[in-house]
Chain A
Amino acid sequence: MSLSRRTLLRGAGAAMALPFLEAMMPRALAGSKAPALRRLAVLYVPNGVHMQDWRPSAEGGDFALPWILEPLEAHRKAMTIYSGFVAQKAFANGDGPGDHARAAAAFLTGVQPNKRHVQVGVSIDQAIARRIGTETRLSSLAIGIERGALSGNCDSGYPCAYSSNVSWSGASTPCLKEVDPGRVFDSLFRDPMLEGGSELRRTRRSILDLVRGESKSLAKNLSGADRARLEQYEEGVRAIEKRIQKAGDRESHAPDGLERPELERGTAYPERLDQMIELAALALITGSTPVLTFMLANEGSNRSYPNLEIAEGHHSLSHHGKDPLKFDAIRRINRFHSEALARLLDRLAESGEPGGSVLDHTHLLYGSGISDGNRHNHDDLPVLHFSAKGAGHHVLPAARRSAICTWDSPGPWGHRSIPLATPVRSSRCRASRGKLAARRYLETSKPVRATLC
């Protein structure tokens, strides 16, 4: 059997061969004439990159891949390298320091995070998930490797929730990323919410009815901020109800031959990264979720990379002060991450489904909310886009300082309706007012120029 027909899942060090991919396809899609499932994956790396070895030397298609991007040579045809994007809301805008927290928070939301309370906006991947995630087992999945915290001060007074999440389902509700590979596996194949047979599921539904009733009566005596908190709770309850409903009477089970990976204590970062890359590939290949966000490390991560013989922390190094030794360490870390990305792309490209490979049906974004780690600037962000319509080009957006995320994120004042019916302007877009490109994005598979959202 040739390598292209196999994918490998490494759990606890042992490689497991997976069966043919047809067996893993979501039942709704297997053998049907329906269009293949479109997927969105966003991979985030912290602390910016060494732009001198990232930015191609020329616009257009005629350049050698810069050093950090060399591992992606095999996928160059699908790749578009963007330069010049700005995350406007990641700048201080009067709020003082905290660029790491803001960089991650604003990347997919386009909203400036609040320093005193956890409050930003719904991220675009979640809006997309709500639209296209109705048929799949999970509407979205957020994974990562560094758990991070939610409360506490992680960057100059900003709550830790900002630097450890890029995906937000509500203004105050991050999509908590799962860092335990066993649990990621569970959410793909073994939803504990669905286990135990129909009796138990009925009981669960009754419990949810009960708590919904209680919430209603409780809400009568509350006002203002308390009510807002209760609404967050109610949203969580609704999400679980939907999950149970969607599963119907399906029993959850993992495809034959797949073993649940266990996270051994003390597993080093490279192994954990490998594990997560495999799980990310699995999530997308099996169509368990159409929307995936993956933080390779939390924003501001100060982990060292002993496998690269780098003993200093990444964040400390990114404050390079123009030291050539630090430059070298940073770019080696960046390249190490690119190699992981290349492995994920390889998996997706190898996996066939009706209509092409999984990669053909995926939009993958890879980037950071910070450009140069020393300056903490948020313009000229490092952004890669992989899709079937990619052309291997280096693109500068039409307008100088085009915003990377320009959609009307439902902010802290409640949900506004998402303007899906409004056509998208594909030329330049203004930083403060943009239209949601989700629908067009999904229907045409065209990367909309200067509107990556």
Chain B
Amino acid sequence: MREGEKLEESLAQLAAQLFRRPVQAREMKPYLKLTRKEDSVELRLRTALTAMLVSPNFLVTGTEPEGYRTAAAMAWFVGRSTPDGVLLAAARDGELDSPAGRARQALRLLRGPRATSLAEDFAQQWLQLGRLSEMVPDPLRFAAFDDGLRAAMRAETLLCFEAVLREQRPVRELLDADWTFVNERLAKHYGFAGVQGEHMRRIAIPADQRTRRGGLLGQAGLLCVTSNPTRTSPVKRGKWILEALLDSAPPPPPPGVGTLEQAGPADAQLSLVERLALHRADAQCAACHDTMDALGLGLENFDAIGRWRDSDGPFAIQATATLPDGRSFSDPAGLRGLLAADGAFVASLARHLAVYALGRPLDRADEYALAELRRRLPADPTLYDLVLGVIEMPAMRTLKAPAQQNQ
């Protein structure tokens, strides 16, 4: 029956894509047998698809033959999906065995629609933006905050990332750009005039706001997730900068360290800056807090929901700080420039992409490969360069679970 043959063909194609490898006829037999009882083609398709989607061949990765494993890894990394027909054919023809072949396919994937997952999934994880949905800024202090603003904040960051990805801009522009995405709500939040309508659109940042906005450090969503419900937290912001942007996550606090002991009612008179200075008075704390606090204080002009402010209650804000290595800045733009020029930003992004692509922490072999990756990057790389570099890591071709550590 022609309908039956067409169905068999469709199922075989589907199976190959879902299982990420060529599927033998004898493997398809049980599926066909399963669906024989069904009346309509639609039901047969549905039953077969259900069975395939719960099959270990679909759910358990790393079991494909070599070559196909690379295809699976690439498709999952760039598209968060299974390899399409073209990629499977490339695997079959050995195209993915050479760096040039891999690069060609990777570029095709990057240009495809599924690459948006790099923004929606990777960027969201890297920048810890996921927590935005759980943030509950104090409604008394921040009445301006609501779900509409929350959604716009989230969209801004992800759209900016996607733009840098698709337009092949240097990754430096993630940190330091003169454009961003806003809608009317977000524009009002930032103090930009002349934006109307609910949809997000790209604008050039007004000249007088250039020192404040433009790049990740001025985006309200990120400023919000690095704050507390009632106030900003320079420590959280500093930690975030170190973790996400500079590849130097601070070690956890030493054991036995609590929070600052309250000295007494006199503390209420101190500004946040002065209270934080107490951190640095203790040498044990200063080791990390000297850097962390300085970075976070550079963003103090942004309140807990990312609005610009020149003072915090009675205290005027001076976003001036000096890092332990001597570099200093006097406003958010200065901090931005400093970070964009720092090689650690590219290194950090490379590491985060590698962890995302492999889906696990990096072991020693991966660290070596990561160092190689960084060495090979062009000056002023784009996200394409980084993605291609990660795909060249040897672990992407083996996709094995890491060796279990002995306890």
Contact = CB atoms under 8 A, between A and B. Distances in A.
A210 B51 contact: yes
A207 B252 contact: no
Given A214-B57, A229-B60, A312 B401 contact: no
Interface on chain A toward B: helix, strand, loop, or mixed SS? Answer: loop
A374 B259 contact: yes
A233 B361 CA distance: 22
Nearest to A211: B55
B211 interface: no
B55 A214 contact: yes
Contact of B258 (A237, A316, A319): A319
Interface stretch (B90-98, B133-141, B174-182, B380-388): B133-141
Contacts of A313: 228-229
For B51, B230, B402, the residue with the greatest tally of chain A CB atoms inside 10 Å of its CB is: B51
B191 interface: no
B262 A92 contact: no
A316 B51 CA distance: 47
B22 interface: no
A322 interface: yes
Contacts of A419: none
Interface in B136-154: 136, 138-141, 147
A211 B56 contact: yes
B252 A375 contact: no
Interface in B118-138: 125, 130, 134, 136, 138
A443 interface: no
A374 B51 contact: no
B398 to A, nearest CB: 11
A340 B178 CA distance: 52
A98 B255 CA distance: 11
A321 B55 contact: no
A210 B47 contact: no
Contact of B47 (A98, A157, A207, A226): A207
B34 A206 contact: yes
Contacts of B50: 207
Interface string A213-253: 11100100110111011100110010000000000000000
Given A214-B55, A304-B138, A306-B139, A230 B60 contact: yes
A322 B263 CA distance: 11
Contact of A321 (B228, B229, B262, B404): B262
B334 interface: no
Contacts of B405: 114, 116-117
Residue picked from B34, B261, B404, B405, most chain A C-beta under 10 Å: B404
A352 interface: no
A413 to B, nearest CB: 8
Most chain B C-beta atoms within 10 Å of own C-beta, residue among A218, A266, A311: A311
A304 B230 CA distance: 10
A156 B229 contact: no
A203 B54 CA distance: 13
A240 to B, nearest CB: 9
A13 interface: no
B400 interface: yes
Contacts of B320: none
Interface in A282-339: 302-304, 306, 311-313, 316, 319-323
B136 A266 contact: no
Interface string B176-211: 000000000000000000000000000000000000
A207 B229 contact: no
A414 interface: no
Contacts of B134: 303
Nearest to B404: A225
Nearest to A96: B252
B262 A322 contact: yes
Contacts of B260: 321
Contacts of A374: 258-259
Contacts of B262: 321-323
B170 interface: no
A375 B258 contact: yes
B401 A114 contact: no
B403 interface: yes
Contact of A229 (B47, B261, B401): B401
A412 interface: yes
A207 B34 contact: yes
B57 A311 contact: no
B63 A218 contact: yes
B47 to A, nearest CB: 6
B30 interface: yes
Contacts of A375: 258
Interface in B247-306: 252-253, 255, 258-262
Given A211-B51, A214-B56, A225 B138 contact: no
A57 B407 CA distance: 42
A203 B252 CA distance: 52
Contacts of B41: none
Given A233-B56, A313-B228, A266 B407 contact: no
Interface string A157-194: 10000000000000000000000000000000000000
B31 interface: yes
A197 interface: no
Interface in B49-76: 50-51, 54-57, 59-60, 62-63
A90 to B, nearest CB: 14
Contacts of A157: 252
B45 to A, nearest CB: 13
Nearest to B359: A151
Contacts of B57: 214, 218
B259 A321 contact: yes
B60 A226 contact: yes
B253 A311 contact: no
A313 B262 CA distance: 19
Interface string B78-94: 00000000000000000
Nearest to A202: B37
Contacts of A303: 134, 136
Interface in A99-132: 114, 116-117
A35 interface: no
B401 A322 contact: no
B58 to A, nearest CB: 9
Contact of B30 (A213, A302, A321): A213
8 contacts: A96-B255, A117-B405, A207-B47, A210-B30, A218-B57, A218-B63, A229-B60, A311-B229
Given A218-B60, A302-B229, A313-B229, 14 more contacts: A96-B255, A116-B361, A207-B47, A207-B51, A218-B63, A222-B63, A233-B56, A237-B54, A303-B136, A311-B140, A312-B228, A312-B230, A320-B259, A323-B262
Interface of B: 30-31, 34, 37, 47, 50-51, 54-57, 59-60, 62-63, 125, 130, 134, 136, 138-141, 147, 228-230, 252-253, 255, 258-262, 361, 400-405, 407
Interface of A: 92, 96-98, 114, 116-117, 149, 152, 156-157, 203, 206-207, 210-211, 213-215, 218, 221-222, 224-226, 228-230, 233-234, 237, 266, 302-304, 306, 311-313, 316, 319-323, 374-375, 412
What 10 A-B pairs have minimum CB-CB distances, sorted nearest first?
A225-B401, A97-B252, A311-B138, A321-B259, A207-B51, A215-B56, A156-B252, A319-B259, A304-B229, A311-B230
